[in-house]
Every structure is written in C-alpha cells, then in structure tokens.
Structure 1
C-alpha cells in the first residue's frame, strides 16, 4: 500500500514537471548556462567559481549539462573551507572539483529525475562530471540531493531550461569526498 502511494505521488509530480518543462521549451531557451548565471542576482558566487576554474567557456558553449546551482546564500553557509579560500588561485583544482561535482552531463529535467527515482523505488543516483555520484530522493514534495558525506541540498527552483542544458537552484553546496 505504501509503495503504491509513492508511485502515485511520483506519477503526479512527473506529470506536473512535464507540463512545466514543455512550457519552458515552448518559450525557447536561447541563453546559455553562463549567460543566465551572469544575469542572476542569486548566483554571483557561482559565476565567480565558473570564471576562477576556467569552466566559463565550456558552460557557455558546450552541453547539454545539468547544473545544480548553489545560491549565494548556500555558498555563505559552506562549512569547512571558505569560498574565499577556494577562490585563491592556488586552490583552483580543489575549486574545480567542487564545481564539477554540481554538474551532470546531459539534460536532467525535474521530471527525468523523478522518473529515475520512481524506477529506483524512491532513489536515483547520478554521476557528476567530477566523477563521483550524488543521490536524489524525495522529502515531502521536494527533490533532495545527497552527497558522499551525507550532506543534503534541496532543489528550490527547478527546470531553468537553457540552450545548452538546465539549471536547478539548490539551497546548499554539496561536496565530493576529496574536498
């Protein structure tokens, strides 16, 4: 009975996400991931990270990519090493590992993430460009990403479709094991 309810919720959310994604595609996403990030009031730190890691051009031209984009407030709450420390040029490799842990090759809309979770009985894993995995689960109606440490980030704004992928804003910074 409980599994049936989860499947029903997944299907309902899947249908809602498809409608949302179709509306966004119909508008014609003509901007790149970098262009949208540069014009966002909530992602100034993420843009600085893209530039500091020399990934700005890749995320502007290539794709498709799915970017789980921490907001500026998520970077402010980063535990462990500060973003100022990571932005230091001598820490470029570490910063690049952090950023690429937030990127998955391919375009994963919220509906695709939900569909994968339905197939995985409430759980789906995705390999990041950095090479490690993140796990997606549901908490109520929210999609939650869990990193290799068990830290969690919630998708707070989903499906910002771009010409070279999709951006999902998250409320925390997730980290690979190495950092």
Structure 2
C-alpha cells in the first residue's frame, strides 16, 4: 500500500487509539549533506533520534503521542526533527503540558506537522524551491503546510505561524526515510 499523508495520519491515530485504551548544532550548508540511501540495516527514524543525544525531548514527545510504531514502520517518511534546544525555546511549561495524556491529540497534530510522506532529501527541497521561484510549499502528514526557501545555502522552513526555522543538519539517512535536524519547532495554525 502506498504511504500517503492520509495513511500515515490514520496509522498515527490508530496507534493513539490503541494506547489510549488512549522533523548538529550550527547551520549546515546544503552542499555539505551526504547522499541519502537508506539501508535496511540502518536504524529507523526513532532509533536514529534516540541515538543523537540532542533529540531527547522529541523522542519523549513521540512516545507520549503513541507515534513510535508509526515512525518505526517502513515508511518512507521525512521528519524535520527539532533539537532539545529548539524545544527549550518554546514558552516555559509548553512541553510538559503537551505530553500530558489529555493533550495527546494536540501533541500528535504538532508532531505530524513535522513529518512529510516520502523520502525528501535536501536536494529535492532545493530543486522544489528553485522550480517555484524561491519558495516551495510542503504538505505535512498533519494536513498542514510548510514553506521552504533558501537563505544562502541553508534551507529555511517557515511554519503556519510565520516562524522561520533553519535546517541545521540535512539528509540524515535512516532505514525508513530521512531526518532533517532543525533549530526550531513548527507550530500549526
């Protein structure tokens, strides 16, 4: 079955229902990325995020939202992965509030706003940006939109609230897709 935003969202909510019972520090130039060729023996998106040492908050949020199985499934997915520092920029208490069981739906919406169906490399993003005159719209699994553009050779993603976020490390290959590390958290409208 092809993976579409609708099937990922359905899987995410199925995982939520079952448990409810219930997307590198300095800006990296785009040219510095490595070619993304996921290997079956490579860790998946969740395992990769768990191993970085800078995605503890993201991993905890994915676990609280019941999305581990979804993001560990074959995919492919592209995830814009905010670092712990990015989450720390949110108003105090935001993360603690979001990971509460009663806020699971909101948390799932925010996390799936960081995911895109398919394997989208930085080269793909740059090509889309250039093709569309300097700005490209990206559809997320949550059904929202992100806008990608370039600032020099850094990819900047702007969320629905108009907040720009830099991709600080592009093209982290996983067995089920690609991770682009970001210095901010995307917030849907």
- Work out the CA distance in 2 between the residues paired with 1:29 and 1:101: 27
> Which residue does the alignment assign to 1:70?
82
Question: How many corresponding residue pairs?
Answer: 161
- Work out the CA distance in 1 between the residues paired with 2:93 and 2:109: 14
Match of 2:99 among 75, 84, 87: 87
- Work out the CA distance in 2 between the residues paired with 1:95 and 1:143: 25
Larger of the two Rg values belongs to structure: 1
- Work out the CA distance in 1 between the residues paired with 2:162 and 2:140: 16
Decide which structure has greater helix share.
1
Q: Deviations over 1:20-72 (max 9, x none)?
A: 21xx5287761100111111200000000111111101111230000000000
| Aligned-CA RMSD value | 2.0
The structural deviation recorded for 1:91 is: 0.5
- Work out the CA distance in 2 between the residues paired with 1:80 and 1:149: 19
What is the TM-score of this pair, normalised by structure 1? Answer: 0.84
What is the TM-score of this pair, normalised by structure 2? Answer: 0.80
Moved over 4 A (4+): 26-29
Unaligned runs of 5+ in 2: 1-28
> Which residue does the alignment assign to 1:107?
119
The structural deviation recorded for 1:141 is: 1.5
Aligned residues of 1:33 and 1:59 also touching (Cα < 8 A) = yes
Unaligned runs of 5+ in 1: 1-12
1:123 to 2:149 alignment: no
SS in 1 for 2:34: helix
Return 130-139 or 77-86, whichever deviates more: 77-86
